[in-house]
Structure 1
């Protein structure tokens, strides 16, 4: 019962659910990005380079010249397919940029108190000079109570130890 309970808690955490949603969206987005790169972005780039198909760029390791990558592969020749690598790199960068935009927008929608970095910011305990969480009311190192004084003329918060 304990193992099942732990597994259920793990799967119901926000991070595990977010990761699952991200994997599903990434798989769905991948075919869309593949089509965008292969069918929309690479043909104009190939047109700039004398009407060549970028995915058809390769180096034959046996020294012979073939009219296409498919012909070289049919002949069983070992090739370095740098055109496919360029295409995969472009797809990766587009996917990375789209994921960045999605995460950026989600972070904008979150309420300020839900932002994960806010709870991770640190301040220094005025008594023991060690780093403590920003919202700490008692120092976990020296057990001093920290109270925020009223704002003074310079509007800087002051801390006192009880």
Structure 2
């Protein structure tokens, strides 16, 4: 299935209200994480590295030295702001981990019949003897038609009918 088709199915199945609420909560959560990274996590790390402020870590491409990133921007210097990148990366990793925890918890809360992996009971294919989902009609391993096989076993085969 292509990426566009998967996205289309997601958009059709998803609720617009759920997506809207998720975006609002995500924006609020993003502000919270941004403050956590900039105001709580990075200052002690910067203190460990010689009282360094991650916001002021940059490389000036003009060759001139400036006391801070703000002074370099005021002078119009072209800079690579790797300190801001480090801050954004730490922020991204925290948000990614938090989203992982939320999705993981939601998957735990789902009822067994809603989660396809948990609700899938197995049976054995009579042709290839591999475990397959109990509701399978065609074996995914050997491509045998299982529904017809059950009907054949229940009924007398047509070629063996005695007249």
TM-score by length of 1: 0.70
Cα RMSD (Å): 3.3
2:146 alignment counterpart: 144
Deviation at 1:57, TM superposition (A): 0.2
Unmatched segments (≥5 aa) in structure 1:
1-9, 148-159
TM-score by length of 2: 0.69
2:133 alignment counterpart: 134
Deviations 1:120-146 (A, max 9, x none): 89877444x5x9971425338654327
Distance 1:121 1:62, change over 3 A: farther
Equivalences, count: 140
Output the CA distance in 2 between the equivalents of 1:161 and 1:43.
Answer: 73
Output the CA distance in 1 between the equivalents of 2:134 and 2:16.
Answer: 26
Distance 1:52 1:112, change over 3 A: same
Q: Which shows bigger deviation, 112-121 or 56-65?
A: 112-121
1:29-108 to structure 2, matched below 5 A, reads 29-108=29-108
1:26 alignment counterpart: 26
Contact 2:61 2:78 in 1 (8 A): yes
Output the CA distance in 2 between the equivalents of 1:17 and 1:112.
Answer: 25
Deviations 1:40-87 (A, max 9, x none): 001101111111211110000011110000000011110000000000
Equivalent position SS for 2:113: helix
Deviation at 1:22, TM superposition (A): 3.1
Output the CA distance in 1 between the equivalents of 2:67 and 2:123.
Answer: 65
Equivalent position SS for 2:52: coil
Unmatched segments (≥5 aa) in structure 2:
1-9, 154-163
